[in-house]
Amino acid sequence: DIQMTQSPSSLSASVGDRVTITCRASQTISNFLNWYQQKPGKAPKLLIFAASSLQSGVPSRFSGSGSGTEFTLTISSLQPEDFATYYCQESFTTPIIFGQGTKLEIK
């Protein structure tokens, strides 16, 4: 099975900061990579699909990049509502694998 490793596992940042989260795949997955945001007690929400395509309705401060084995999610200017846990997910093979998550906290 493919392994997906996110870094960092947790991150403290301030409103207005630029933040980057990295996701690495154990083998090449082209750009079959999605990003989700999850707030406590809530279902995940799709942010980015196909590594860099912004889901409809998601603010443009979110962006994704990468291909092959290394991917990034960038939030250009953190807003209070962005403090959450973020997961990458590969859609290259079955079983579908999620990263372990990155918890973004307020500094």
Partner 1 sequence: EVQLVESGGGLVQPGGSLRLSCAASGFTFSRYWMYWVRQAPGKGLEWVANINQDGSEQRYVGSVRGRFTASRDNAKNSLYLQMNSLRAEDTAAYYCARVAADGNFYYMDVWGKGTTVTVSS
Q: Could you say which of 5, 20, 22, 55 contacts partner 1 (CB under 8 A)?
A: 55
Give CA–CA dist 45/62, Å, rounded.
13
Q: Could you say which of 19, 23, 29, 36 contacts partner 1 (CB under 8 A)?
A: 36
State the residue for tokens 């090449």.
28
Q: Could you say which of 29, 34, 66, 83 contacts partner 1 (CB under 8 A)?
A: 34
Q: Is 43 one of the binding residues for partner 1 (CB under 8 A)?
A: yes
Alpha helices per DSSP H over the chain: none
Q: What one-character DSSP code corresponds to residue 99?
A: -
The minimum distance between CB 46 and partner 1, in angstroms, equals 5
Q: What one-character DSSP code corresponds to residue 105?
A: E
- Pick the stretch among 13-21, 33-41, 60-68, 72-80 that binds partner 1 (CB under 8 A): 33-41
Q: 83 or 87: whose CB is closer to partner 1?
A: 87
Reference 32, options 17, 48, 20; nearest CA is 48
